[in-house]
Structure 1
Amino acid sequence: MVARQSVPFSAFAFGFLRLIRLQNLLIVVATQLLARLFIIDTKPSSIILFPDRNFWILSLSTVCIAAAGYIINDYFDIKIDLINKPERVIIGRFLKRRIAMGVHQVLNVVGCMIGLYLSKWVFLADVLAVTLLWFYSAQFKRQPLVGNIVISLLTALSLIVLAIYYRNNAQMLLIYALFSFGISLIREIIKDMQDIRGDARFGCRTIPIIWGLRRTKYLLYGLLATFVGSLFTIAALLRNNQLVFIFLLLLIPIGWLTYRLVLADTRRDFGHLSNLCKLIMLLGIMSMIWT
């Protein structure tokens, strides 16, 4: 455990914002906002006046639970992170462990209560997310593939919860949720390849540790092919030419990702691939504007 040292408030605040991954939370809000404006309600008035108040309340609920998830994940991963990314360890350095756990619990309660205010179904989705995040951080992420699937499902849940609450154009929302799930699953496995040294030292049983990097690459090739095939199949079944065109454009960065995956061999290489997955996710989400 890292010895906590006295730090100025500015350093504490900066550390806390890094702990809750502020940039990722902003991406979640932006994703939900784009979905609300361009998929759920495409009327010009909604774009000019911005969404209804309940949208922002729903988004706040999602952000609270996601922030709590980042905290509990780092709480359980202090020792592993000291090996994989020591410069990014926050808990124990800027924030006491018990305070981190307290903030995590408060955020979860606030997020779920907001969900209950909106709808019992949103509340149930929030409770499911909180439960999965806890078990993911404590246990699932150290098991082969289970943790990857769980965290990818939670990524998709930020769009699924919109479909649950608004129930308008839910089919298109679920397509983008599937897109988020697929690219997140690929990225999570790549991150396991990047973090193989620290994970192996603390007994994690991730796919790269069990299979090795070469066989894990074969799995990723299969997932990439299935991911792309599923997207085009759904677009064809819906007879949505705009989606087909968008997915064709996304083949360019996905093809580059596959090429770089073939050549990847070092931790730095896998770090670049993880960032490329983030870019593909961002491009896919931005395409909501043209659907």
Structure 2
Amino acid sequence: MATGRTFRTFLESLLKLTRFGNLVIIGLAQYCTAGFLIATTTLNDGSLFILATSTVLIAAAGYIINDYYDVKIDYINKPGRVVIGKSITRRYAILFHVVLSSAGVLLGLMLSWKIAAVNVLTVFLLWFYSNNLKRLPFIGNFVVALLTGLAILIVDLYYHTGSVLIIIYASFAFFMTLVREIIKDMEDLKGDVTFGCKTLPIMLGLRRTKFIIYLILFLFSATVVILNYFYQVMPLQYYAIFLFVPLLWLLYRLVRADTIRDFARLSAFCKVIMLMGILSMSLHGG
């Protein structure tokens, strides 16, 4: 009985460490991209399962290495979320990181050398981000956002469609992740200051950092409108309902936000907007 309970605690900790909910969203995003923006027949393609699995495994490894380097900071910012050093040792955390990363790269190699190369680059950037870039202003946020957009684009890289819709959704994933990462830095300000990080909120202050987010949201909206204008992908009413209204609400709440709880809620709302965007792919048929 004790052994079973210990294993269950270990499994729960591992799922918490690898952000299982986020992994589901990543896999769902790739399946929706393939099924609704390319062709519904791709959903029966075993290669899509391999592609999604490789991406999810590498993302899980990325979450592990991120927490590995951030244990001390997390004890200040989010003590209840700390797993490494408690239910999972640092040695096992590194082992899981290496195993999951290697499995993700090998699965990518089963598909093509291009997918494997992208996966190797992703593994490296996730490690470099966790070890160094995330403590620098903006560059760490940018890299995570870029990798999130790449999770959408890699589907197109494999199926070779050149779809403008996929570019729009990849841009959506990039910009929303960039905004969310900056908001998370605002939420984690206390711990980051303690350990000498140089994130945007630390270097510029909350007020100026908010203005950067306003600019990013404007650039994002302009990018979507321009792409839609030139390629006539879908009616602008679609964007008004499923994108611009949620973004205006995010903007309104951001202007008023000034506490850790406020920024935590905004970060969660960014995830809701991203999930809405993923599910909206179903409106395009396939």
Q: TM-score, normalised by structure 1?
A: 0.93
Indicate the RMSD between aligned Cα atoms, in angstroms. 1.2
For 1:10-159, list aligned pairs within 5 A. 10-42=8-40, 46=41, 50-159=43-152
Q: Return the alpha-carbon distance in structure 2 between the equivalents of residues 153 and 241 of structure 1.
A: 24
Contact 1:40 1:169 in 2 (8 A): no
Task: Give the whole-Å Cα distance in 2 for the aligned partners of 1:267 and 1:202.
Answer: 18
- Deviation of 1:168 after TM superposition, in Å, equals 1.8
In 2: Cα distance, 1:196 partner to 1:75 partner: 19
CA distance in structure 2 between the partners assigned to 1:13 and 1:139 by the alignment: 29
Work out whether 1:248 is the aligned partner of 2:246. Answer: no
Cα deviations by residue, 1:105-137 (Å, 9 ceiling, x for unpaired): 011111001111100110111011001000000
Tell me the percent identity: 46
* Residue 272 (structure 2) aligns with: 279
Moved more, 276-285 or 196-205: 276-285
Residue 157 of structure 1 deviates from its aligned partner by 1.4
Instruction: Provide the C-alpha distance between the structure 2 equivalents of 1:24 and 1:241, rounded to a whole number of angstroms.
Output: 28
Which residue of 228, 239, 259 maps to 2:221? 228
Q: Is the 8 A contact 2:165 2:233 kept in 1?
A: no
Native 8 Å contact 1:61 1:112 kept in 2: yes
Corresponding position of 1:200: 193
Structure 1 stretches of 4+ with a deviation exceeding 4 A read none
Counterpart residue number, 1:4: none
Residue 122 of structure 2 contacts residue 147 of structure 2 at CA under 8 Å; is this kept in 1?
A: yes
1:9 is the counterpart of 2:7: yes
Between Structure 1 and Structure 2, how many residues are aligned?
279
Q: 1:246, 1:287 within 8 Å by CA — same for their partners in 2?
A: no
Point out the more displaced range, 164-173 or 140-149: 164-173
Alpha-carbon separation, structure 2, partners of 1:171 and 1:121: 21
The 2-side partners of 1:96 and 1:151 are apart by: 26
SS in 2 for 1:241: coil
For structure 2, list consecutive stretches of 5 or more residues without a partner in the other structure.
Answer: none
Deviations 1:163-205 (A, max 9, x none): 1100124332121111100010001000000000000100100
Asked if 2 retains the 8 angstrom alpha-carbon contact of 1:21 and 1:70, the reply is yes
1:79-99 deviations in Å (ceiling 9; x for gaps): 000000000000000111011
